[in-house]
A and B are shown apart, each in its own frame.
Chain A
Amino acid sequence: MFTKDIDAKIKRSIGLTLFVLVASAVSAYFGLHPRVTDVGYRPTQPIPFSHKLHADTLGIKCMYCHTGVEVSKHSPVPETQTCMNCHIAVGIDNPKLAGVRESWEQNKPIAWRQVHKLPEYVHFNHSVHILAQIDCASCHGEVEKMGVVTQMQPLTMGWCLNCHRNPEKYVVPARPISGIFTGTEMAAWGQSKPTWGSGRWLKVKDGKIEAIGKQEYQFVAADVAGIVIPKKPSKGPETCSACHY
């Protein structure tokens, strides 16, 4: 069917395609591997803690454990006390929790392995993003679906800037599972007004507090001092000194 000529051509082109495929696979392996891009880094933790069980099945909000994130730069991994809030009475003889009990009894922190890490010359602040109602999933993926936390985003400078330039494209708005405060929680139930207290009925709109109803009420910051005020996200900064200082 084939002449020798065509046969040789087919062989050559097959050889060439094969070479390209193998070369690209090898370069893909080294170029896209988690050890190079950081995406897909999934360290085995000392205790088989599952976000899927705690956040998705039990519906515990992220902020129950990662409490400081709306007021501080750093989002803390919970201390053993937080686990013991429930595990003092739940799963008492579960062998998977042996490490937690040991840490509790010996007053020794659990050595969780850090997943997300920026170089230390970059200053990232959680609270500005959380108060702008940006959901954790924008940057960490759907953690509540993960058995073991895996890094889902490259955390490069280009990635930060992409979102800062076009937040509407990349921001996942606050979801209930995160526990992010939006100030609109009472909107659906607004008709059942409280019958006690001073009857001052205020509303938050775009980060400002507005009085509604008959009474003119001058908002005094001290009244609600200690409560964070959420806002709508604007564009993020692109000046170098916002992140490198």
Chain B
Amino acid sequence: MGSMKKTVRFRTIFWSLVGIAFAIFWVLLLSGNILWTSDTPPLQVIRDMDNQMRIAPQEEYPFFPDRSSDRPPLPYTVPRYAQVYTPETVDEALEKYPENPLPVTEFVLARGKNRFETFCTPCHGVEGKGDGPVVKRGFPAPPDLNRDITRGYPDAQIFHIISRGQNVMPGYANKLSEADRWAVVHYVRWLQQRAAQTTESSSMEAGE
């Protein structure tokens, strides 16, 4: 009789522990604290028209030798609505663009700030000082955009550097539209103006 009692108690405890474990599992699962992950693509039991004969962007497409659905433009053709940046040298750019075509407005500067902080801060830093996070990991440090030499560059030269790159700096004509690049030029000017104002006021304070 005594041994049977023991087994019953043992079993009850064992199974209630199992039950509690399951309950915890369920609570975690339903509250979203467990995320199952899987490397295998989701099952498609009923395929409907999930995959159609059309070619999607960036798809694998075995028809072409490089197996990509994205095609380069044919040789000797010019895209019709695309903006192509043609000047090869700074001089050509200066000739083509005498001045920044965008007005200086809060909207344009906001756009310039947004694009600058997306595309330029990784290297140039938020203030343009050349201390971005990628530079701290070993990328060659760019010069301070607020230095006098850069301040003296005409708008078109900065536009040209953004479009074509310079030495190790990559060009951004493929990522920024023409208007966006001009907006960034305005923003660089604005950073320079602000940097000049702060150094002026701090040197005045230091002088007094």
Partner-B contacts on A (CB < 8 A): 1-2, 7, 10, 14, 17-18, 21, 24-25, 28, 32-44, 57-61, 63-64, 67, 74, 76-77, 81-82, 84-86, 88-91, 108-109, 111, 119-121, 150, 176, 179, 181-186, 189-190, 192, 194-204, 209, 212, 223-227
**Contact in complex: B57, A119 (CB < 8 Å):** no
Interface residues of B in 174-202 (CB under 8 A from A): 174-175, 177-180, 183, 186, 189-190, 193-194, 197
Question: Do A224 and B179 touch across chains, with their CB atoms under 8 A apart?
Answer: yes
Q: Which of A35, A59, A194, A195 contacts B38 (CB 8 A)?
A: A35
Task: Find out whether the CB atom of B66 lies under 8 angstroms from the CB atom of A109.
Answer: yes
Asked whether B8 is an interface residue with its Cβ less than 8 Å from the other chain, the reply is yes
Which residues of A have CB within 8 Å of B168?
88-89
Q: Which of A10, A60, A76, A196 contacts B58 (CB 8 A)?
A: A76
- Contact between chains at A58 and B8 (CB < 8 Å): no
Closest approach, in angstroms, between the C-beta of A69 and any C-beta of chain B?
12
Shortest CB–CB separation between residue A130 and chain B, in angstroms?
A: 12
**Looking at chain A's contact residues, is the secondary structure mostly helix, strand, loop, or mixed?**
loop
Q: Mark B92-117, 1 if CB is under 8 A from A, else 0.
A: 00000000101111111111011001
Which residues from B are CB-within-8-Å of A21?
18-19, 22
Q: Which chain B residue lies CB-closest to A6?
A: B8
Contact, CB under 8 Å: B22 / A150:
no
Let me know if B152 is at the binding interface, CB within 8 A.
no
B134 and A58 within 8 A (CB): yes
A-chain residues with CB within 8 Å of residue B140 when the two chains form the complex: 89
**Which residues from A are CB-within-8-Å of B119?**
64
Across the interface, B117 reaches (CB within 8 A) one of A40, A179, A194, namely A179
Cβ–Cβ contact B122 & A59, under 8 A? yes
Q: Is the Cβ of B36 less than 8 Å from the Cβ of A192?
A: no
- Closest residue of chain B to A77, judged by CB? B58
Which of A32, A67, A120, A209 is within 8 Å of B175, CB to CB?
A: A67
* CB–CB B19/A202 < 8 A: no
State the Cβ distance, A145 to closest chain B Cβ, in Å: 12
Contact check, B179 vs A227: say whether CB atoms are below 8 A apart. yes
Nearest 6 pairs of A and B residues by beta carbon = A226-B179, A197-B104, A34-B38, A202-B105, A179-B118, A185-B110
Pairs A–B under 8 Å by Cβ, sample size 8: A35-B43, A40-B35, A43-B39, A58-B134, A90-B139, A196-B104, A197-B100, A224-B102
Q: Which residue of B lies closest to A120 (CB)?
A: B52
Closest-CB distance, B36 to chain A (whole angstroms)? 5
**B147 at the A/B interface (Cβ < 8 Å)?**
no
Q: What CA separation (Å) do A81 and B29 show in the bound complex?
A: 41
Complex interface bits, B1-37 against A, C-beta within 8 A gives 1, otherwise 0: 0000100100110010011001001100100000111
Nearest CB on B from A121, distance (A): 5
List residues of chain B with CB within 8 A of the CB of A197: 100, 103-104, 186
Report the Cα distance A214→B175, complex, angstroms: 36
Q: In the assembled complex, how far is the CB of residue B70 from the closest CB belonging to chain A, in whole angstroms?
A: 8
Residues of A within 8 A of B74 (CB): none
Q: What's the nearest-Cβ distance from chain B to residue A76, in Å?
A: 6
Pairwise interchain contact B174-A81, C-beta atoms closer than 8 A: yes
Q: Which residue of B lies closest to A82 (CB)?
A: B175
Cα-based distance from A85 to B174 in the complex (angstroms): 12
Q: Flag if A58 contacts B122 (CB, 8 Å).
A: yes
CA A176 – CA B113 in complex, angstroms? 12
Q: A1-B5, A41-B38, A58-B137 are in contact. Are A184 and B110 (CB under 8 A)?
A: yes
> How far is it, in angstroms, between the C-alpha of A190 and the C-alpha of B113 when the chains are bound?
12
Given contacts A58-B137, A120-B54, contact A25 B42 (CB under 8 A): no
CA distance A198 to B117 in the complex (A): 25
A contact residues around B25 at 8 Å (CB): 25
Which residues in A have their C-beta under 8 angstroms from that of B175? 64, 67, 82
Name which of B67, B105, B121, B194 has the most chain A CB atoms within 10 A of its CB. Answer: B105
Q: How distant is A172 from chain B, measured CB to nearest CB, in Å?
A: 16
Smallest beta-carbon distance B158→chain A, Å: 13
Q: Give the distance in Å from the alpha carbon of A86 to the alpha carbon of B124 in the complex.
A: 13
User: Contact between A63 and B12 (Cβ–Cβ < 8 Å)?
Assistant: no
